[in-house]
Amino acid sequence: MSDLSTLAADLTAAVDAAPDLAALEAVRVSALGKQGSISALLKSLGSMSPDERRERGPQINGLRDTVQARIAVRREVLEAAALDAQLASERLDLTLPPPPRRRGSLHPTLRTLDEMVAIFAEMGFAVAEGPDIEDDWHNFTALNFPPKHPAREMHDTFFFHPDGDGERKVLRTHTSPVQVRTMMSQAPPIRIIAPGRTYRCDSDQTHTPMFHQMEGLVIDRAIHMGHLKWTLDTFVSRFFETAGVTTRFRPHHFPFTEPSAEMDVQCDRSGGQIRIGTGSDWLEVVGCGMVHPKVLVNCGLDPAEWQGFAFGFGIDRLAMLKYGMPDLRDMFASDVRWLKHYGFSPFAALPPLG
């Protein structure tokens, strides 16, 4: 027993004397690691007789528990001290004047959002907003997503843990729930755009887990695809500041529109750049279609009386196309050099809308 008492005293002194987390970890490894002193004692139990094991086992296990507890207490003290030291070293005096050459700028996403809102405002659209955290009904069911639709799966959607009623809230995967909330709270005619953050489990050169989307909705009597095509053609021409934009519509499928389409713009991809309004290539920029009758019914509207169209743009992607940014992920990297290069003066006027 005296050898265990001596070992316990030595280890306790070493733990209490550890000046930082690295030194404490070295003490832990020397005692409890694979080759540690306490680990060696535990391994020796297998070679003891049953009587010796009954006597020595509780003593060695008690030593291990005592040292582990002492290390945990010391770790909390050292972590608190390390945090205090870090906060002290990073303290800023906010009363000091800023560096003379540091200037803020407007992020390209916000600049693009302002441009889009201004164009659609000229076309008679109002701005509508909704919560980032949605329930399943507003995000999926009301929009005619079948129960087993892939968009409901974990690899596409950020789900929260179930609440007390077993319901799992989600980070909205699109701003379409804003359309649902608007149709349920506002009598037609409706003409809105819904900009905001959206979230999906995706990350590559042209996708990020959080991105910005702007959807549009028009509900009225006798609305048809011609109205949708004119709206999108007019917006694209004004946004890219050229009258020579050529577009095409391709059949597609979205659960919440019927018929559905994707709109492409003609472009030139040569030279490592994308130029809109020239060339022989095509680039998809927006998904759209006529609002599905089931969505109208879910929102309390009679599809025999009311029709409408909806569309959705990726704001970050439009900013990439217009301002020549090669990688979407750079928009969220907080790189001061990138912001300095692509940022806009908050006092700069928007491009002409006509």
Q: What is the predicted pLDDT for the residue at 151?
A: 67
Alpha-carbon span 212 to 30, nearest angstrom: 52
User: Which residues fall within 8 angstroms of residue 354, CB to CB, at 6 or more apart?
Assistant: 238
119, 233 contact by CB (below 8 A) = no
Query: Which tokens go with 147?
Result: 């129960």
Strands 307-314 and 133-134: unpaired
Q: What is the predicted pLDDT for the residue at 242?
A: 79
Query: Terminal CA-to-CA distance of the chain, rounded, Å?
Result: 92
Is the model's pLDDT at 226 over the cut of 60? yes
Strands 247-254 and 257-268: antiparallel
Is the model's pLDDT at 14 over the cut of 60? yes
pLDDT, one tens digit per residue, over 315-328 is: 988 888 888 777 77
**DSSP-assigned states of every residue in 198-239:** EE-S--BTTB-SEEEEEEEEEEETT--HHHHHHHHHHHHHHH
| Helix/strand/coil for 338 | helix
For residue 346, the number of C-alpha atoms closer than 13 Å in the C-beta half-sphere is 4
Is the model's pLDDT at 300 over the cut of 90? yes
| Average pLDDT value over all residues in the chain | 86
Is the model's pLDDT at 279 over the cut of 90? no
Q: What is the predicted pLDDT for the residue at 3?
A: 79
Type of residue numbered 181: R
Is the model's pLDDT at 30 over the cut of 60? yes
Range 254-274 average pLDDT: 85
Is the model's pLDDT at 272 over the cut of 80? no
Q: What is the predicted pLDDT for the residue at 227?
A: 96
Q: What is the predicted pLDDT for the residue at 98?
A: 64
Q: What percent of the chain has pLDDT over 70?
A: 93
**DSSP-assigned states of every residue in 40-64:** HHHHHGGGS-HHHHHHHHHHHHHHH
Q: What is the predicted pLDDT for the residue at 354?
A: 58
Q: What is the predicted pLDDT for the residue at 39?
A: 83
Alpha-carbon span 24 to 15, nearest angstrom: 6
pLDDT, one tens digit per residue, over 150-194 is: 766 655 788 888 887 878 899 999 999 999 999 999 999 999 999
Beta bridge partners of 197: 212
User: Which residues fall within 8 angstroms of residue 255, CB to CB, at 6 or more apart?
Assistant: 143, 144, 145, 146, 149, 292
Strands 126-127 and 190-199: parallel
Range 286-291 average pLDDT: 96
Q: How far is CA 212 from CA 100, 135, 277, 317, 350, in A?
A: 33, 19, 25, 9, 20
Q: What is the predicted pLDDT for the residue at 42?
A: 81
Q: What percent of the chain has pLDDT over 90?
A: 38
pLDDT, one tens digit per residue, over 36-80 is: 888 888 888 788 888 888 888 888 888 888 888 988 999 999 999
Tell me which of 133-137, 219-223, 272-276 is least confident: 272-276
Range 2-31 average pLDDT: 86
**Superfamily per CATH, domain 108-342:** Bira Bifunctional Protein; Domain 2 (3.30.930.10)
171, 199 contact by CB (below 8 A) = yes
Type of residue numbered 4: L
pLDDT, one tens digit per residue, over 73-127 is: 999 999 999 988 888 888 877 787 766 555 677 888 899 999 999 999 999 999 9
Beta bridge partners of 281: 267
Tell me which of 39-43, 120-124, 205-209, 258-262 is least confident: 205-209
Q: What is the predicted pLDDT for the residue at 129?
A: 95
Q: What is the predicted pLDDT for the residue at 60?
A: 81
Alpha-carbon span 331 to 289, nearest angstrom: 29
In the chain, where are the structural domains located?
2-89, 108-342
**How many other CB atoms are there within 10 angstroms of residue 130's CB atom?**
18
* Strand ranges for the chain from DSSP E: 126-127, 133-134, 170-171, 190-199, 210-220, 247-254, 257-268, 275-276, 281-291, 307-314
